[in-house]
Amino acid sequence: MEDVVVVPKAKPFGISKLEKRINDSTQLMPKWDDAIVKILEDQHPHSIGEIASRVNLSAEKIEYVFQFLAKYSLITYDDESQTAVICTDFSLLTSD
Protein backbone atom coordinates (compact mmCIF):
# COMPACT_ATOMS: atom_id res chain seq x y z
CA MET A 1 0.00 0.00 0.00
CA GLU A 2 1.34 3.43 -0.99
CA ASP A 3 1.48 6.38 1.36
CA VAL A 4 -0.93 9.15 0.46
CA VAL A 5 0.40 12.69 0.75
CA VAL A 6 -2.15 15.43 1.33
CA VAL A 7 -1.14 18.76 -0.14
CA PRO A 8 -3.03 21.91 0.87
CA LYS A 9 -4.95 23.52 -1.97
CA ALA A 10 -2.65 26.01 -3.67
CA LYS A 11 -3.87 29.52 -4.39
CA PRO A 12 -3.13 31.04 -7.81
CA PHE A 13 -0.09 33.28 -7.55
CA GLY A 14 -1.00 36.86 -6.79
CA ILE A 15 -4.68 36.58 -7.68
CA SER A 16 -6.00 37.82 -4.35
CA LYS A 17 -3.76 40.90 -4.45
CA LEU A 18 -4.71 41.58 -8.07
CA GLU A 19 -8.40 41.26 -7.29
CA LYS A 20 -8.02 43.69 -4.41
CA ARG A 21 -6.32 46.23 -6.69
CA ILE A 22 -8.98 45.86 -9.37
CA ASN A 23 -11.83 46.19 -6.87
CA ASP A 24 -10.23 49.21 -5.20
CA SER A 25 -10.95 52.01 -7.69
CA THR A 26 -8.19 54.19 -6.23
CA GLN A 27 -5.61 51.58 -7.25
CA LEU A 28 -6.63 50.90 -10.85
CA MET A 29 -3.58 52.70 -12.18
CA PRO A 30 -0.23 53.32 -10.54
CA LYS A 31 0.32 56.88 -9.38
CA TRP A 32 3.53 57.26 -11.38
CA ASP A 33 1.82 57.00 -14.78
CA ASP A 34 -0.30 60.07 -14.10
CA ALA A 35 2.79 61.87 -12.82
CA ILE A 36 4.76 61.08 -15.99
CA VAL A 37 1.96 62.30 -18.26
CA LYS A 38 1.51 65.43 -16.13
CA ILE A 39 5.22 66.28 -16.52
CA LEU A 40 5.12 65.66 -20.28
CA GLU A 41 1.97 67.78 -20.77
CA ASP A 42 4.06 70.96 -21.10
CA GLN A 43 5.11 69.63 -24.54
CA HIS A 44 8.81 70.22 -23.86
CA PRO A 45 11.46 67.50 -24.14
CA HIS A 46 12.10 65.69 -20.85
CA SER A 47 14.96 63.29 -20.22
CA ILE A 48 14.77 59.85 -18.70
CA GLY A 49 16.92 61.03 -15.79
CA GLU A 50 14.70 64.00 -15.06
CA ILE A 51 11.50 61.96 -15.10
CA ALA A 52 13.08 59.15 -13.06
CA SER A 53 14.10 61.55 -10.31
CA ARG A 54 10.74 63.32 -10.28
CA VAL A 55 8.59 60.18 -10.03
CA ASN A 56 11.07 58.12 -7.99
CA LEU A 57 11.49 55.25 -10.48
CA SER A 58 14.63 53.81 -12.03
CA ALA A 59 15.88 55.14 -15.35
CA GLU A 60 15.39 51.66 -16.81
CA LYS A 61 11.69 51.67 -15.93
CA ILE A 62 11.22 55.17 -17.35
CA GLU A 63 12.95 54.13 -20.57
CA TYR A 64 10.60 51.14 -20.80
CA VAL A 65 7.58 53.42 -20.26
CA PHE A 66 8.88 55.87 -22.89
CA GLN A 67 9.38 53.07 -25.40
CA PHE A 68 5.87 51.77 -24.74
CA LEU A 69 4.30 55.23 -25.13
CA ALA A 70 6.33 55.84 -28.30
CA LYS A 71 5.24 52.49 -29.76
CA TYR A 72 1.63 53.69 -29.65
CA SER A 73 2.50 57.23 -30.84
CA LEU A 74 1.58 58.86 -27.55
CA ILE A 75 5.01 60.46 -27.28
CA THR A 76 7.99 61.04 -29.53
CA TYR A 77 11.06 59.40 -28.00
CA ASP A 78 14.60 60.23 -29.13
CA ASP A 79 16.89 57.27 -28.37
CA GLU A 80 20.04 59.31 -28.89
CA SER A 81 19.24 62.10 -26.43
CA GLN A 82 16.93 59.85 -24.36
CA THR A 83 14.24 62.51 -24.26
CA ALA A 84 10.51 62.37 -24.80
CA VAL A 85 7.91 64.87 -25.94
CA ILE A 86 4.19 64.22 -25.66
CA CYS A 87 2.33 64.07 -28.98
CA THR A 88 -0.19 66.87 -29.47
CA ASP A 89 -3.12 64.48 -30.00
CA PHE A 90 -2.38 62.66 -26.74
CA SER A 91 -1.85 65.93 -24.92
CA LEU A 92 -5.32 67.07 -25.99
CA LEU A 93 -6.83 63.86 -24.62
CA THR A 94 -5.14 64.22 -21.23
CA SER A 95 -5.85 67.89 -20.59
CA ASP A 96 -8.85 68.83 -18.49
pTM: 0.61
**Which is nearest to 56 in space by CA: 38, 31, 75?**
31
Domains of the chain by residue range: 30-94
Cα distance between the two ends of the chain:
72
Report the Cα 43 to chain-centroid distance in Å: 19
Helical (H) or strand (E) element with 33 = helix 31-40
Q: Give the model's pLDDT for residue 88.
A: 84
Distance CA 51, CA 59 (A): 8
Local confidence pLDDT in tens for the 96 residues of the chain: 566 655 455 444 444 444 444 445 444 445 778 889 899 999 999 999 999 999 999 999 999 999 999 999 999 999 999 999 999 876 666 655
CATH of domain 30-94: 1.10.10.10
